Structure 1
Amino acid sequence: MEQRSLRTHVLDLIGNFLYKEKFPNCGYLPEGILNLIDATSAYREEGEDLYPEIFITDKIDAVLRTLPFCKRVEISTKPASVKEFSQALKLCAPLSRNGWVIYINVSEQCINYGLVSSELSELSPTFRKQSVGELSENGDEYAIAYLQNAGNKSVLLRGSETSALISLSLSERRDGIGAELSSICKAITDDVDENYQAICASYFEKIIGDALVTGHGTLIAVVKEEPDAIDKALKRHADGIYLPQPLDICDLVIQSEEQKTREASTSNRLHSSLVQSMLHHDGVTVFSSKGKVLGYHVFVKPDGTEKEEIVGGARTRAFEVLKLSSVFESCFYKSHDGNEKFWSAKDGK
């Protein structure tokens, strides 16, 4: 009888990852990370779904030196063993929110763990972007691995040199996780003042990314910031909640960046939380290309002029209608099982 073990396959993948990232040869480490991946793929504590971010390193002090404003709260130090990874997750996962990330520092004899935050304000880049993303300053001084739930029993494992999307489900997953999110956020800020375009796009990646992790499927459409284009889109897809006064998130981001006051920061944070709640609603959230939220809970349907047959689940069909309705610059879709798609009118895909 042929037998194949998913556990063995994932352990092999983790071993290759640790080798490429130059982690020390700690015998407990691959299985400890495997247990974290298994647990965080669908983590619940006291009946609540949790989405902790975790990073593992062999030199926590060296990591924090690259993040000069980082705050650290140590929780415990224990003799090194596989079971301590599960204990670290249990103790720290309920605390890993609002910018706090779990760290696990490993050595041959012991592990210590706790939480860190690298955010000075709500506009700060995410810890992932600063530690293993494009803002990372890591050379060869330390090894690092970052883990986060990516939906549908999948976990993103990323280091300085390599990355892997580990799926514990048999459903098909698209490659290139994160690319679609980056693309839709650039589309949302396409017509923003170029002096603030990058910071606004980064901020949208942060708040929309958080909403995608905790939501169960999302649809976003972007319309050109022009009166005729907006009017055409609203008439074509009228079944929804359109705001009499659009939420200008980019303006709030710019005010927070320029004024650096508690009032500006609080206003931006509160309005951003509204946007995240809108993204959790059924239907489409509609943005303009200047970073304004025009509407949410928008339901779309074919008008009979589409040349292509539209098939699939409800969100898939809605995504196709958005593309074919010829009123949007770009569209984004995330299904309940974690698959993501991005379409742009500029390149037709």
Structure 2
Amino acid sequence: MNEKMVSFREFLQQRLISLTETLNKEMHSSEFLSELVLLLANYQEEGTNLFPVVFITDNQNNLTKYLSAKELVSVGSGPNTRDTYTRAFKHCAPLAEDRLWAVYMIIEDGTIRYGIFRSESSPLAPTVFERLRLLREEGSCIVGLTRLGGNFVEIRTSTGLHQYVNVSGSDEDDYHPGRVIRNFVESVVKEAPEPIKPMLRSFYYRAGMDVMHASHGSLIGILKKGAKIPDILEDGIHLTPSISVCDAIQSITDGREDRDAYMRLVSYSLLIRKLTWMDGITLLDNQGGILAYNCFIKTSA
């Protein structure tokens, strides 16, 4: 009796067909997507989890036109086969782990050219994957993959289709990284002035992704602007005065668009990463201000 082996790879390919069938015929196969999902979901180097972003397209111009790619660094090429996708990922992914660089694969005439490209580095600009999320371009041909956190992979096309894949097998409702980051960002910008809210949203999306990709968990509390820090959290280190990210952004929108203003925001982003990596709770307000860190909940003696 011949027993049928159940293959997760084949099952995944079937589920992903709808994402590729509207694209260029060279990208109709979902095999490359399933291969990259499985590589990305558990990607580590030297025991450290890494979170590169990967884009596949049929034309180099798509990267500059739709994703604002700044410069392309060619790494290699090969036939349109599974081995080439695997090699391209392994050669490029370690270089594109910080979202300042991204992996590209261009499929043309049965060949895959691959490498990395530099993305928009401003802390106030949407990340390169956010740009893809906003695209709804019929006739365009880009597929992007990003590892959100844990074993969750998000797949997006430039026509607006998307799919989340949870490779771990855990209940999606227990922890969905995409939902976590969206809720965090909307909470921390809730009362920000409307003119600068989109920029503050981009700033905290970038910072939030850095925090979520850390090697350990972080606790962040968000208070209403001007609210007193609760007594139960008074054990922490309070910043007096607090750091206003809004003021830093405002200085740029007011026309003082110099290098130091941007470096100030980059420094704030790095500071948030360091604060949240410490023990205890980091406190922000709902205008994006940085209030306190290393806070612990008091317990009765």
TM-score, with normalisation over the residues of structure 1? 0.76
Number of aligned residue pairs: give it: 294
TM-superposed deviation, 1:301: 6.2
Residues 161-211 of structure 1, C-alpha deviations (whole Å, 9 max, x = no match): 321111221211138753442333232222322221221122111211232
**What is the deviation of 1:26?**
5.0
Structure 1 residue aligned with 2:25: 24
1:40–1:269 CA distance, 2 compared to 1 (3 A): same
Q: How does 1:259-274 map to 2 (within 5 A)?
A: 259-274=256-271
Give 1:316's aligned residue: none
What are the superposed Cα offsets for residues 305-336 of structure 1, whole Å, 9 maximum, x if unpaired? xxxxxxxxxxxxxxxxxxxxxxxxxxxxxxxx
RMSD: 2.5
Which residue of structure 2 aligns with residue 121 of structure 1?
Answer: 122
- Residues 140-149 or 63-72, more deviating: 63-72
Match of 1:111 in 2: 112
Against the structure 1 CA distance between its residues 256 and 127, is the aligned structure 2 distance closer, same or farther, given a 3 Å change threshold? same
Q: Give 3-state SS (helix, strand or coil) of 1:172's partner.
A: coil
Residue in structure 2 matched with residue 36 of structure 1 by the alignment: 36
Which AA in structure 2 matches 1:55?
Answer: F
Structure 2 segments unaligned to the other structure (5+ residues): none
Q: Does the 8 Å contact 1:240/1:296 carry over to 2?
A: yes
Q: Decide whether aligned partners of structure 1 residues 215 and 106 sit closer, same or farther in structure 2, where only a CA change above 3 A counts.
A: same
Instruction: Return the alpha-carbon distance in structure 1 between the equivalents of residues 4 and 297 of structure 2.
Output: 48
Compared CA separation, residues 169 and 66, structure 1 to 2 (3 A)? closer
C-alpha distance in structure 2 between counterparts of 1:62 and 1:207, whole Å: 27
TM-score (normalizing by structure 2): 0.86
Deviation at 1:54, TM superposition (A): 0.6
Secondary structure class of the residue paired with 2:76: strand
Q: In structure 2, how many angstroms separate the alpha carbons of the residues matched to 1:141 and 1:116?
A: 23
Match of 1:275 in 2: 272
Structure 2: how far apart are the matches of 1:163 and 1:98?
A: 20
Measure, in 2, the Cα distance between the counterparts of 1:220 and 1:209: 13
The one of 144, 154, 159 equivalent to 2:152 is 154
The residue aligned with 2:14 is 12
Stretches of structure 1 that go unaligned for 5 or more consecutive residues are: 304-349
8 Å CA contact 1:223, 1:286 repeated in 2: yes
Amino acid at match of 1:291: G
Q: Which residue of 1 aligns with 2:196?
A: 196
Spell out the pairing of 1:49-88 with structure 2 (5 A cutoff).
Answer: 49-67=49-67, 70-88=70-88
- Flag the 1:171–1:66 CA change in 2: closer, same or farther, 3 A: closer
User: Does 1:207 find its partner at 2:207?
Assistant: yes
The equivalent residue for 1:249 is: 245
Q: Which residue of 1 aligns with 2:289?
A: 292
